[in-house]
Amino acid sequence: MAYVVSPERLPTRPRQVGKTRSIVRVDRWMARCITVGGIGVVVAVLGIFLFILSQILPLLQGAQVRPRTSHQLPPQPYALFGVDEWAELPFLVTTDGTILLVDLMGARGTQPVDPGFEAAKTFTASHYNQAQQEVLCATSDGFFSIVSLNYTTTFDQGGRRVVAQPKAAPFIALGSPGHAISRIAYANAGGLRLAAALQEVDGQMEVHTASLTQQRSLLGVGKVQVDQTENLSAQIQGQPQALAVNAQADGVAVATAEGLVYYFVRDKHALALRQVFTPFHDLPQSRIATMDFLFGGASLVFTSSTGANRVFSLYVPEGKAERLFGQTKEFPPLPGAGAFYAASARNKAFLTGTGAVASLRYSTTETIRWQDTLPFTITKALIGGKYNRLLFLDTSSKVHVYELDDPHPESGLKALFGKLWYEGANQPAYVWQSTGGSDDFEAKLSLIPLIIGTVKGTLYAMCFAVPIALLAAIYTSQFLDPHCRVLIKPTVEVMASLPSVILGFLAALWLAPLLETRVPALLLMLVGIPVAALLCGRAWSALPASTRTWIKPGYEWLAFVPILVLTCALAWVLGPLLERLAFVVLHPETGKRVADFRLWWSQTTGGSFEQRNSLVVGFMMGFAVIPIVFTITEDALSSVPAELKSGSLALGASRWQTAIRVVLPTAAAGIFSALMIGLGRAIGETMIVLMATGNTPIMDFNIFSGMRTLSANIAVELPEAPHHETLYRTLFLGGMVLFLMTFLMNTLAEIVRQRLRERYRTV
């Protein structure tokens, strides 16, 4: 028997709504926009990377030296070679005291100038003081005269011109009268001047010095007069052959033919022998070829007869009380004995060489900026006053001028990431100190202290934020009542909107002074809160089920909050008692026993205790990181399929066991992403670190000392950095390092996240 079903009684399938043409067009358009936007983001990031790289690359380049011009002089012996600040009108001093001006930029050619000595004498030695543009001319009868070059610039119909008006001061007697001066050195420190000379007396070389003074009044300056003379020969063993006076005019270094150096320092009113050392003690066949001071007068540069090149600097050795010379730099050797030396008047560069080889070297970084074999034999050399010219005088009396382009001599990989031995330090170190109080300051641009500071601040912030954020996320997502969750989660997320400057302000002016004297109370809290939580959990589990039903599941925190408050209050009150019991030390000034955690920490660990320290940064920067880690972690935990949790509970697992052994591993990828994003937030934080620490670039992980991070350093230094100068480009390098750190960590995080996702995927 067949049944016929009418079409009206057949079940109808739901009608599928197809995509209209307009929807398809919009979908395609949005897909293209998203693709273009993604490509644009990649291009923008790549463009930023290339721009920063273009600012950094000049830091790693050496000096560029190119021939500029040359000028032939009358062939004759020249005793001295000097140059003006602009390297446009160099001069040479002949053996009869005539000064020859050489116009390199105009049509004046070579101009002989008589400086106007008060008497005709035979000149036997000379010295050039480039800093004050003075020339000392010493005579065969034991006198010397200071010639002021008086360089000025004039503007006339021919344009700008550099002119010089040399003027000789009256002759001053030095040493033994009637005996020729074979070597002379001089320094002018303004209020103090010092001249030192070598004289041959009865077949023996003697060292004589003269302290000079110059009276100043409202009517002008008076004549230079001798204040005190000394004979240092009795304190020197051997044959003196070279000498140098430091820029402060209070020290003299004398080198002997036997390879010894005697260093004399002014002690009250006389020069006293402070040190005797041998620059090339390990090279018995070497003798001192050249010896002179670097810019600043704190380092001596030596070259030997075999080409060795070393720098000795003044510092206080461990266990000593006075500054002594010690070897700090060893440069690659020259191909022969050092024949000439010239120091820069702007930085720690110096020019040395032998024969036709010229080498421009930088003392701070211990690097060769430029070295080449020139097509002539060099007799004398100079570095222009603006560090933009190199000048050479060859054996045929021809002056050669070379263009020098070396804008960042104090930079390089070793300077930026290596350990350098700076002047005044007793050992090599990583140091960041971009500015100083004087012109002879060495820029210290090591990024290592800033990288360490970044890691330090991030470490303490994450140590504080991660446990709180993770545990809070676990409790909120797995145990808290849903009605409370809708209030708690937005409240925590609002914390992320707090401006960093406000957090830094609170950390500097409220939290730091508060914690300075309450560290013992804080220690009690760090121990007491976890212990109280564990004891409360154990006590709650031990209660009968009928009693636990008094509090609705998900509201257990109501029972713990009073205990938490009581624990914190008790720790705060008992903190001073703990300090009196466990942190008692002898006061360094009074000698009495006092209860002071700050003194105890300094005396016990040797580390400093500063009010604005890493602990303060960890707390306050942790508050900036907690909302990020909490939100992403809570979302990841809440996204775990309910079937997994229900199955675990059905098999007899407790809620805690389910959360730790089922939910947490399943959400591991999301939790790891949360930690990495929080880490990136902490690394890039600027204002909190800037305001809440001493902002000092130190290299230790002492929790009670400050730090300086890469981001804070950029914020502090960039407004003061001259455009395109070394500091400016170094700050860009700091930004690049920060970018690479976050990029590498995010890349590693993504790799780990993908592996965790594959391992704990639920499908």
**Distance (Å, whole) CA 419 – CA 427:** 9
Whole-number pLDDT of residue 1:
46
Domain ranges of the chain: 65-173, 278-431, 449-517+568-759
Would you place residue 218 in the very low, low, confident or very high pLDDT band (cuts 50, 70, 90)?
low
Q: Is the pLDDT of residue 761 over 80?
A: no
Q: Is the pLDDT of residue 291 over 50?
A: yes
Phi, psi of 93 (to 5 degrees): -110, 125
Helix or strand or coil: residue 373?
strand
Taking alpha carbons only, the member of 84, 72, 242, 231 closest to residue 153 is 84
Lowest model confidence (mean pLDDT) among 10-24, 306-320, 443-457, 599-613: 10-24
**Distance (Å, whole) CA 560 – CA 479:** 14
- Which parts of 262-393 fold into alpha helices (H)? none
Q: What is the pLDDT of residues 226-255, one digit of tens each?
A: 888 999 999 999 899 999 999 999 999 999
Name the pTM for this structure: 0.87
Lowest model confidence (mean pLDDT) among 314-328, 344-358, 449-463, 690-704: 690-704
Q: Is the pLDDT of residue 19 over 70?
A: no
Q: Is the pLDDT of residue 458 over 50?
A: yes
* Residue with token string 């003081």: 129
Sign of the Cα torsion 105, 112, 77, 134 reads: negative
Would you place residue 762 in the very low, low, confident or very high pLDDT band (cuts 50, 70, 90)?
low
**Distance (Å, whole) CA 526 – CA 681:** 25
Considering the domain delimited by 449-517+568-759, tell me its CATH architecture: Orthogonal Bundle (1.10)
Sign of the Cα torsion 128, 129, 134, 140 reads: negative
Q: What is the pLDDT of residues 534-573, one digit of tens each?
A: 888 888 878 887 777 777 777 878 888 899 999 999 999 9
* Residue with token string 């990989």: 413
Would you place residue 466 in the very low, low, confident or very high pLDDT band (cuts 50, 70, 90)?
very high
Q: Is the pLDDT of residue 363 over 60?
A: yes
Q: What is the pLDDT of residues 379-425, one digit of tens each?
A: 999 999 999 999 999 999 999 999 999 999 999 999 999 999 999 89
Q: In Å, how far from its chain's centre is CA 613?
A: 20
* Higher-confidence position of 482 and 448: 448
Whole-number pLDDT of residue 252:
96
**Distance (Å, whole) CA 685 – CA 674:** 17
Please state which CATH class domain 278-431 belongs to. mainly beta
Q: Write out the two tokens for 207.
A: 């060292």
Give the residue-averaged pLDDT of 196-220. Answer: 84
The dihedral over CA atoms of 636, 638, 641, 645, expressed in degrees to the nearest 10, equals 120
Give the residue-averaged pLDDT of 568-592. Answer: 90
* Higher-confidence position of 19 and 45: 45
Q: Is the pLDDT of residue 365 over 90?
A: yes
Beta strand residue intervals within 157-284, DSSP E: 159-164, 167-168, 172-173, 181-188, 193-201, 204-217, 220-231, 240-245, 251-256, 261-267, 270-277
Q: For the chain, what is the mean pLDDT?
A: 88
Percent of the chain whose predicted confidence (pLDDT) is above 90: 53
Q: Are 292 and 255 in contact (CB under 8 A)?
A: no
* Residue with token string 């005709």: 120
CB atoms within 10 A of CB 93: 23
**Distance (Å, whole) CA 243 – CA 233:** 12
Taking alpha carbons only, the member of 488, 465, 453 closest to residue 626 is 465
Q: Is the pLDDT of residue 4 over 60?
A: no
**AA letter at 68:** R
Q: Is the pLDDT of residue 177 over 50?
A: yes
| Cα atoms in the 13 Å half-sphere on the side-chain side of 432 | 27
DSSP structure class, residue 142? S
Whole-number pLDDT of residue 760:
65
Q: Is the pLDDT of residue 6 over 70?
A: no
Q: Are 253 and 265 in contact (CB under 8 A)?
A: no
Phi, psi of 384 (to 5 degrees): -55, 155
Would you place residue 763 in the very low, low, confident or very high pLDDT band (cuts 50, 70, 90)?
very low
Whole-number pLDDT of residue 217:
62
Phi, psi of 484 (to 5 degrees): -80, -30
Residues 6+ apart with CB under 8 A from 109: 102, 103
Q: Is the pLDDT of residue 2 over 70?
A: no
Q: What is the pLDDT of residues 45-97, one digit of tens each?
A: 899 999 999 999 999 999 999 999 999 998 888 999 999 998 899 999 998 88
